[in-house]
Chain A
Amino acid sequence: GENVEQHPSTLSVQEGDSAVIKCTYSDSASNYFPWYKQELGKGPQLIIDIRSNVGEKKDQRIAVTLNKTAKHFSLHITETQPEDSAVYFCAASIGSGYALNFGKGTSLLVTP
């Protein structure tokens, strides 16, 4: 079936550096791409999303880019802080519907 590939699976950066997580998807009908952050023992929480009619979106230190032709999208976190340490998931809508396919997650560690 359709799936979402996410890389890297783990990422370690120094505080203040940037972190980039990349995802590819296979369903050409997908038109909604959210990113979720999951802290230990909690459910995933939406941090930013992008729709297919937009190429880039930014919210403070977080930005997402989308290349529909290449079917990939990326999360960029600048000026990382220790509290950014968590597991990040990308997702793509299943077709243009309500449900989402999630990537396998990236465990981000920001060291002081």
Chain B
Amino acid sequence: DARVTQTPRHKVTEMGQEVTMRCQPILGHNTVFWYRQTMMQGLELLAYFRNRAPLDDSGMPKDRFSAEMPDATLATLKIQPSEPRDSAVYFCASDREQSYNEQFFGPGTRLTVL
């Protein structure tokens, strides 16, 4: 059945390294969201795209984070350089064009920055 996929599922890296997380939204879904989940802050919206165009990235630290959708089947979230405070689970979610549809979440990427 259709689901959002994310790679890698786990990533351990050292401070200062570049990290790239990938998301494949459900086929036909044209709105893609990136969230970060931590114990302290809960689920935070980082950025989202509609029809591959960024609609809002105000939740994202601009100096080190970047999000793109090279094509309709791939969304990427990049951190450069990574810092220990970036350690979290990063979720991608997608939904269809109509508003208020269910956001389908991927399984997440657990990032640990040492």
Using CB atoms and an 8 Å cutoff, list the residues of chain A in contact with chain B. Answer: 32, 34, 36, 41-46, 49, 51, 89, 93-94, 96-105
Please, how many angstroms separate the alpha-carbon atoms of A72 and B112 in the complex?
A: 36
20 chain-A/chain-B pairs, Cβ below 8 angstroms: A34-B103, A42-B107, A42-B108, A43-B105, A43-B106, A43-B107, A43-B108, A44-B91, A45-B105, A46-B102, A46-B103, A94-B45, A98-B99, A99-B45, A99-B48, A99-B56, A100-B103, A102-B45, A103-B42, A105-B43
- Contact indicator A44/B99 (Cβ below 8 Å): no
Asked if A43 meets B91 with Cβ closer than 8 Å, knowing A89-B43, A99-B33, the reply is yes
Are B100 and A32 neighbours in the complex by a CB distance under 8 Å? yes
Contact across chains for B45 and A100 when beta carbons are under 8 A apart: yes
Is the Cβ of B42 less than 8 Å from the Cβ of A102? yes
How near does chain B come to A30, taking the closest CB pair, in angstroms? 11
Contact assessment for A104 and B42 in the assembled complex, using a CB-CB cutoff below 8 Å: yes
Residues on A with C-beta less than 8 A from B95 are 98
**What's the Cα separation between A96 and B102 when bound, in Å?**
15
Docked pose: A93 CA to B48 CA in angstroms: 14
- CB within 8 Å for A93 and B100 given contacts A98-B31, A99-B45: yes
Number of B residues contacting the other chain (C-beta, 8 Å)?
A: 23
Please determine whether B45 and A105 come into contact, CB atoms closer than 8 angstroms. Answer: no
Q: Is B55 an interface residue (CB 8 A)?
A: yes
- Selected from B33, B45, B93, the residue in CB contact (under 8 A) with A101 is B45
Residue of B nearest to A36 (CB): B105
| B11 interfacial contact with A, CB 8 Å | no
Q: Is B50's beta carbon under 8 Å from chain A?
A: yes
In angstroms, how far is the closest chain B Cβ from the Cβ of A62? 15
The 9 lowest CB-CB distance pairs between A and B, nearest first, are A43-B105, A102-B43, A104-B42, A46-B102, A32-B100, A44-B105, A43-B107, A43-B91, A43-B106
Q: How many angstroms from the CA of A75 to the CA of B42 in the assembled complex?
A: 19
Given contacts A44-B91, A102-B45, 6 further A-B contacts (CB under 8 A): A43-B105, A44-B43, A46-B103, A51-B100, A89-B43, A96-B99
A93 to B107, CA, bound (A): 22
